[in-house]
């Protein structure tokens, strides 16, 4: 797809209207001007159509304009999380070999997490190689269970996904507003937030700080019906607000919140109602993304425009090519279908999808199948536990961080009430903190967890 797709799909629209909100609102005309300026700077560094650039910036206006400028050049853009360590960054650059690197002149300041930062970018030519293949976007998987995988998407892939977003019930529409708590470096914040909002004419705001007060202030800053984009943790965070205000932006828009726990967090005056298609629990305690909610209209097209089928209990997604650009994960694609490693089923009558958890989390204990995801959720839900990871080696093991006042003995006692004997962890490893990836996901590598246990 020619680079003109950036102008036609993402940058078009009335020029004087604000489309992005950081410290100050940014109009379409202003965004287009900044993108042209950054495109010229990338060209001066040697970036050409068919070239490759890596962008390592914190969530910021600079990240947005550098991404769009790279695409408008016709180059492949690799997004690297600013929280990666120097070692992780160097390894990623060795694998990706970009011809140009865009990073920050100064590291982000410490302190509470922010929704966006002020970034000054430096553009550095590198002895890299041009893009191989048609991919416009490259991202790295979290690497929580092993080496990060290199995942590529074409411009046509992104445009097709934006079309699917338009057909999903409850997605914000033109004239409405979204407050994004998800980083635009990753898929949720990038496609579900930034690209959808630019394409659909939705005003996109980033809170100054990722705190309860910061999020609520961002919602209150505009009168439009507002969608919060994030993960369940973000709505749980709102429960820490000392005296949350009434927010008619959300009261009128409850049915369109895109993330949240099963009930409203404490401290909010109105409960959070689950939208159709939101994460709810199935009859075995796991997530079922497309189960209808009371009062919600029936959904017969839960994945519009996306080919899905079930094979031997695993969900497969139609894909013209493998999204993996290196050997890691390449075996998961064959004959136009990508294996998701998610267990589930597709109702032949309605097309409704039921997700039953990760297949790679199922183990055999004495000939009996145990879903480690179920065990982990049970352990993590105990009041004595702050966080937990469950693995299987010679036996089921739980690595956990105790909540204040919690003890391993109390955990064992409660698990005896909640899990059958063959499902219960045989070993409990107590850690001061769980090792996490740069993006905050718990690390599931046994060696890293064992090292954390041995640490004083």
pLDDT digits (tens, 9 = 90+) for 362-417: 777 766 678 788 899 889 999 999 999 999 888 899 999 999 999 999 999 999 98
pLDDT digits (tens, 9 = 90+) for 313-338: 899 999 888 898 888 777 889 999 99
Is 292 part of a structural domain of the chain? no
Say if residue 185 is in the same domain as residue 334.
no
Per the structure, the complete domain to which residue 444 belongs is given by 366-454
Count of domains observed in the chain? 3
Choosing from 295, 326, 358, the residue where a domain stops is 358
Say if residue 118 is in the same domain as residue 83.
yes
**Residue 442: its pLDDT value, please?**
86
CA distance 308 to 303: 8
Is 284 part of a structural domain of the chain? no
CA distance 355 to 55: 34
pLDDT digits (tens, 9 = 90+) for 252-276: 444 344 443 333 333 333 333 333 3
Say if residue 188 is in the same domain as residue 128.
yes
Is 373 part of a structural domain of the chain? yes
Is 281 part of a structural domain of the chain? no
Say if residue 394 is in the same domain as residue 410.
yes
Helix residue ranges per DSSP H, 315-407: 372-380
CA distance 99 to 74: 13
pLDDT classification of 80: cutoffs 50, 70, 90: very high
Say if residue 427 is in the same domain as residue 400.
yes
Please report, for residues 69, 179, 181, 185, 253, the alpha-carbon distance to residue 200 in angstroms, rounded to integers and kept in the order given.
20, 15, 19, 20, 17
Say if residue 74 is in the same domain as residue 53.
yes
DSSP 6: I
CA distance 308 to 352: 10
Choosing from 326, 358, 390, the residue where a domain stops is 358
Say if residue 354 is in the same domain as residue 384.
no
Tell me, what CATH number does 309's domain have? 2.30.38.10
Tell me, what CATH number does 201's domain have? 3.40.50.12780
How high does pLDDT run on average in the chain? 83
**Residue 278: its pLDDT value, please?**
30
Question: Helices 372-380 and 408-418 meet at what angle, rounded to 10?
Answer: 130
Is 310 part of a structural domain of the chain? yes
Residue 75 and residue 50 in contact, taking contact as beta carbons nearer than 8 Å: yes
Is 162 part of a structural domain of the chain? yes
Say if residue 116 is in the same domain as residue 250.
yes
Is 283 part of a structural domain of the chain? no
Angle at 90 between CA 87 and CA 93, to 5 degrees: 150
Please report, for residues 30, 315, 333, 345, the alpha-carbon distance to residue 338 in angstroms, rounded to integers and kept in the order given.
40, 9, 4, 15
Say if residue 186 is in the same domain as residue 117.
yes
pTM of the predicted protein model: 0.75
**Residue 20: its pLDDT value, please?**
97
Query: CA torsion, points 375, 378, 381, 386, in degrees to nearest 10?
Result: -30
pLDDT classification of 246: cutoffs 50, 70, 90: confident
Residue 101 has pLDDT above 60, yes or no: yes
Say if residue 261 is in the same domain as residue 325.
no
**Which structure tokens are listed for 91?**
């390894």
Average the pLDDT over each of 14-18, 245-249, 432-436 and give the range with the smallest value.
245-249
Is 286 part of a structural domain of the chain? no
Say if residue 77 is in the same domain as residue 208.
yes
* Residue 376 CB partners (closer than 8 Å, separation 6+): 388, 389, 390, 398
Residue 206 has pLDDT above 90, yes or no: yes
pLDDT classification of 91: cutoffs 50, 70, 90: confident
Half-sphere exposure of 430 (CA within 13 A, CB side): 13
Say if residue 154 is in the same domain as residue 227.
yes
pLDDT classification of 288: cutoffs 50, 70, 90: very low
CA distance 203 to 218: 12
Tell me, what CATH number does 418's domain have? 3.30.300.30
Question: Helices 28-44 and 61-73 meet at what angle, rounded to 10?
Answer: 60
């Amino acid at each position: 797809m020619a680079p003109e797709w950036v102008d036609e799909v993402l940058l078009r629209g009335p020029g004087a209207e604000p489309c992005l909100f950081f410290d100050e609102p940014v109009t379409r005309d202003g965004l287009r001007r900044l993108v042209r300026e950054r495109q010229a700077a990338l060209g001066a560094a040697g970036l050409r159509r068919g070239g490759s650039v890596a962008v390592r910036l914190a969530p910021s206006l600079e990240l947005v304009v550098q991404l769009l400028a790279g695409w408008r050049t016709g180059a492949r853009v690799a997004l690297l999380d600013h929280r990666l360590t120097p070692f992780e960054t160097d390894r990623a650059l060795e694998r990706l070999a970009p011809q140009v690197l865009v990073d920050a002149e100064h590291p982000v300041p410490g302190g509470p997490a922010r929704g966006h930062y002020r970034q000054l970018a430096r553009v550095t030519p590198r002895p890299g190689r041009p893009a191989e293949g048609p991919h416009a976007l490259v991202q790295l998987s979290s690497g929580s269970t092993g080496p990060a995988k290199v995942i590529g998407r074409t411009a046509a892939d992104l445009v097709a996904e934006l079309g699917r977003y338009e057909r999903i019930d409850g997605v914000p529409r033109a004239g409405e507003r979204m407050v994004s708590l998800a980083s635009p470096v990753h898929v949720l914040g990038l496609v579900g937030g930034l690209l959808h909002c630019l394409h659909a004419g939705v005003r996109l705001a980033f809170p100054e700080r990722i705190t309860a007060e910061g999020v609520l202030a961002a919602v209150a800053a505009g009168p439009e019906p507002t969608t919060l984009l994030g993960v369940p943790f973000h709505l749980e965070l709102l429960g820490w607000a000392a005296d949350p205000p009434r927010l008619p932006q959300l009261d009128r828009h409850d049915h369109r919140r895109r993330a949240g726990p099963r009930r409203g967090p404490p401290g909010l005056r109105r409960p959070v109602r689950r939208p159709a298609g939101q994460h709810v629990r199935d009859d075995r305690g796991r997530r079922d993304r497309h189960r209808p909610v009371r009062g919600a209209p029936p959904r017969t097209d839960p994945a519009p425009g996306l080919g899905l089928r079930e094979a031997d209990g695993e969900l497969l997604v139609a894909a013209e090519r493998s999204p993996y650009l290196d050997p890691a994960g390449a075996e998961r694609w064959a004959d136009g279908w990508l294996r998701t490693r998610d267990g589930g089923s597709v109702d032949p009558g309605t097309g409704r999808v039921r997700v039953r958890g990760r297949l790679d989390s199922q183990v055999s204990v004495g000939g009996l199948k145990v879903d480690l995801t179920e065990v982990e959720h049970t352990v993590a839900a105990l009041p004595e536990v702050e966080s937990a990871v469950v693995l299987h080696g010679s036996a089921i093991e739980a690595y956990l961080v105790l909540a204040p006042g919690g003890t391993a003995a109390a955990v064992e006692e409660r698990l005896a009430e909640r899990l059958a004997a063959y499902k219960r962890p045989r070993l409990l490893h107590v850690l001061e903190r769980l090792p996490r990836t740069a993006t905050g996901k718990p690390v599931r590598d046994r060696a890293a967890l064992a090292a954390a246990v041995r640490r004083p």
